[in-house]
Amino acid sequence: MMNAFRFQTVPTVVVEFGAARRLGALLREQYPTGNRLCVVTDGFLHKSGLLAPALADLAKHDWQVSVIDDVIADPPEHVVLEAAERARAADAEIVLGLGGGSSMDVAKLLAVLLPGTQSIKEMYGVKKVTGTRLPLVQMPTTAGTGSEVTAVSIVTTGETTKMGVVAPQLYADLAILDAELTLGLPRAATAATGIDAMVHAIEAYTSAHLKNPNSDTLAVKALELLSRNLLPACNDGNLREAREAMLLGAMFAGQAFANSPVAAVHALAYPIGGIFHVAHGLSNALVLSHVMRFNAPAANKHYAELADVILPAKISGSDEAKTNALIQHIEQLIVDTAIPRTLREVGVKQDDIARMASDAMLQTRLLVNNPREVTEADAFAIYSAAF
């Protein structure tokens, strides 16, 4: 008997090398009558000149563009609200998120805040958004978050806390994947965002409640693409084939976890990012293998199925043996990328672990999806193992 399930994703996806160079034309196809476009990005991308060809083509196709380029990683609530004010002043009709996950997350929130009457605080949680949104397009410049195809936006709400807005209104009309925008992404960023995407696929495949055949298929394909191309993309930042595979894999993983949600890896990563300002992908990488070991008794069968897909040499034997081989393979992959591997390397002290374990327990939205129940003592043990 198959469980009933619901699967949603962005209705239109364009995958095209060099698409940014004809962005104005692409948006004209999608919105023939639109005029005022708000581009949400970060200062580095804007100043680096990476967006210049896209902005030139937008002008050529008569788009009036206002650029909001002060998005920062893990965007605080005030950054979102200030961006909304600027977009409102520009009378934006269409919102384009262009950048990493943070830029795309802010773009989603602008699209629902501008036409609505709700405050952002009323939107935190699952399905709390009541209104409609402005037309929304997403264009990632990293192969990681999958935010271009998810209905989630994460906001930093306090010194160390994050909240999520999860609502179907946050799905874009159009996602554009142009791997040219990811060429030359530095090794550390390539590694952290790539591991982040792998976590999305692994957690979607083992999610406790909403796991479904569509998400499973996407998660498996995502892991295959990501695991085979992560090191080539790290070792040669301009390898087009690897960059295209990483971008596609990250999107597939995003489509998977948008419908079969992530769990304890993310729940335990949030305090690392919130308290120590560690990038989200790296926070995930630091706890990934330790959470998998904890989950193994409940998730061996699913981990073994993933091992059959991504291990270079096929492993025979029990589910437990395959699971161990998968975890070792992922640990070696992280070693080979040369990103930090322990909590102490990112500034965590032994005395911080109790507070982190307590904070992780607040992530009930995520923990409920884990294949095995996580107590505060379990979180403490997992962080200790990662220390």
Q: Kindly report, residue by residue over 227-270, the tens digit of the pLDDT.
A: 999 999 999 999 999 999 999 999 999 999 999 999 999 999 99
Split into its structural domains, the chain has a count of 2
Look at residue 313 and tell me whether its pLDDT is greater than 90: no
Residues 269 and 128 in one domain: no
Mean pLDDT across the stretch 364-385? Answer: 97
- Rounded-to-10 torsion of CA 295, 364, 142, 61: 150
Read off the pTM. Answer: 0.96
Rounded to whole angstroms, how far apart are CA atoms 18 and 280?
Answer: 28
Domain extent at residue 230: 187-386
pLDDT recorded at residue 316: 86
Residues 69 and 176 in one domain: yes
pLDDT recorded at residue 159: 80
Please report whether residue 215 resides in a domain.
Answer: yes
- Position 173, amino acid: D
Please report whether residue 7 resides in a domain.
Answer: no
> Above pLDDT 70, what percent of the chain?
100
Residues 227 and 339 in one domain: yes
Look at residue 344 and tell me whether its pLDDT is greater than 80: yes
Please report whether residue 6 resides in a domain.
Answer: no
Residues 350 and 245 in one domain: yes
pLDDT recorded at residue 240: 98
End-to-end CA distance of the chain: 43
DSSP 346: G
Residues 94 and 208 in one domain: no
Where is 27: in which H helix or E strand?
helix 23-30
Residues 343 and 364 in one domain: yes
Look at residue 305 and tell me whether its pLDDT is greater than 90: yes
On whether the CB atoms of residues 250 and 145 are closer than 8 A, the answer is yes
> Above pLDDT 90, what percent of the chain?
93
Please report whether residue 82 resides in a domain.
Answer: yes
pLDDT recorded at residue 247: 98
Final residue of a structural domain among 143, 162, 182:
182
Mean pLDDT across the stretch 199-205? Answer: 98
Report the candidate in 327, 173, 181 with the shortest Cα–Cα distance to residue 246: 181
Give me the CATH number covering residue 282.
Answer: 1.20.1090.10
Rounded to whole angstroms, how far apart are CA atoms 80 and 107?
Answer: 9
pLDDT recorded at residue 130: 96
Tokens of 274: 């919130």
On whether the CB atoms of residues 75 and 273 are closer than 8 A, the answer is no
